[in-house]
A and B are shown apart, each in its own frame.
Chain A
Amino acid sequence: MRYNEKELQALSRQPAEKAAEIGMRVPKKGSVVKRRLVKLVVNFLFYFRTDEAEPIGALLLEHCRIAKEEPSGFSISFIEDPDRKYYFECSSEEQCQEWIDALRRASYEFMRRSLIFYRNEIQKMTGKDPLEQYGISEEARFQLNTHQA
């Protein structure tokens, strides 16, 4: 599957929702925790060697599970491969929870579900569709039930 490396690099240079130096361990045999600069941009998590400008890697934060790992750490794994986990070690419980929340909120699908949820609830409580003012109430991607055939 082709993609443009420059697009990915451009994305990694956009303003980050969150960035920090965190210990990281990739799901590879014999891998150890390494200090990385971890940067959250839209629904991608980029990780850099601390002294480099270009990321080593990028994870798309969709269809993934973000779980708390003791102590003061978290892991990211993907539904299709739940045992291969990317581990992250934070410097405090608070930093850890902030990252977990930020990573979950970063998912496009999470945002979409939230939007549909809020829209539906507001409509139930007020009788008005809040998306009407934007002129997008008919858009398929914001409908409650769009299932594949």
Chain B
Amino acid sequence: MKLHRKSVLSYFRGTGARAPDREGILLKKGTRNPSYQRRWFILRGNLLYYLEHQGDRTPLGLILLDSCRVEPRDSTTEPYAFVILASEEGGRSYKLAAEKKVDFDGWLQALVWAGWSQLWELLQPLQEQYQRVCQEAGVEPQAPPQEDRFLGLPCSPAPSGFQELHQRFGEEIQALARSRATRRQVDLMEFG
């Protein structure tokens, strides 16, 4: 299977606007070599990257957290050891260890909560609450910021004036409302 590398690398490098969710040194047990290697780990979203050195432009590897579970483990040599286990039969496991208790606690917390589904489950009730609060306050709900504007990319074609921009924004909100209505069966809201 061909994984589109550029998108994965681009996400790793970030846009410069957001720091990674967590980064730091973790000890990683080698696959062939049983000794621990110090690696720089970067968590961004639901992806965990590891680098040979902090500041490397290209990661050594990538771990897809949605296919794994994270657990503490016992180790004869490392007191703060944990494992990232592939949920599939025959999948590999990543034996890791933190150097300090505070790192162990921090990483476990971050990794266990890093999955895409967890974020999705957090987002749904918040979205519903926002719609309710808007209705109660008698204000029109707004759409969250769109990708293009956030990254400063021009929309194509560029709007010729405020009128067209206003129109397009209105259309985007309507499209968002339509898709939300079909999925969530909430009351269809009127947008100006």
Contact = CB atoms under 8 A, between A and B. Distances in A.
Interface in A97-149: 97-98, 101-102, 104, 107-115, 117-119, 121-122, 125-126, 130, 134, 136, 139-141, 146-149
A34 interface: no
B71 interface: no
Interface string A40-58: 0011000000000011111
Interface residues of B, number: 66
A81 interface: yes
Contacts of A60: 3-4, 7-8, 11, 47
B32 interface: no
A79 B10 contact: yes
A25 interface: no
A78 B153 CA distance: 11
B7 A59 contact: yes
B67 A11 contact: yes
B63 A97 contact: no
A148 B117 contact: no
Interface in A76-109: 78-81, 97-98, 101-102, 104, 107-109
Interface residues of A, number: 63
Nearest to B90: A6
Contacts of B134: 125
Contacts of B45: 43, 62, 108-109, 112
B14 interface: yes
Contacts of B46: 42-43, 108
A116 B66 CA distance: 22
Contact of B16 (A80, A119, A126, A148): A148
Interface string A12-32: 101000000000000000000
A42 B14 CA distance: 19
A111 B2 contact: no
B103 to A, nearest CB: 15
A64 B86 CA distance: 28
A43 B116 contact: yes
Interface stretch (B73-81, B144-152, B159-167): B144-152
Given A1-B5, A7-B86, A147-B18, A104 B133 contact: no
Given A118-B126, A118-B127, A125-B134, 14 more contacts: A1-B61, A6-B67, A10-B91, A42-B116, A57-B2, A62-B45, A64-B147, A101-B179, A104-B147, A118-B144, A126-B133, A130-B126, A136-B113, A148-B17
Interface of B: 1-11, 14-19, 21-22, 45-47, 58-64, 66-68, 86-88, 90-92, 113, 116-117, 119-120, 122-123, 126-127, 129-130, 133-134, 137, 139, 142, 144-148, 150-151, 153, 156, 175-176, 179
7 contacts: A7-B63, A58-B1, A80-B6, A111-B119, A122-B133, A139-B113, A140-B19
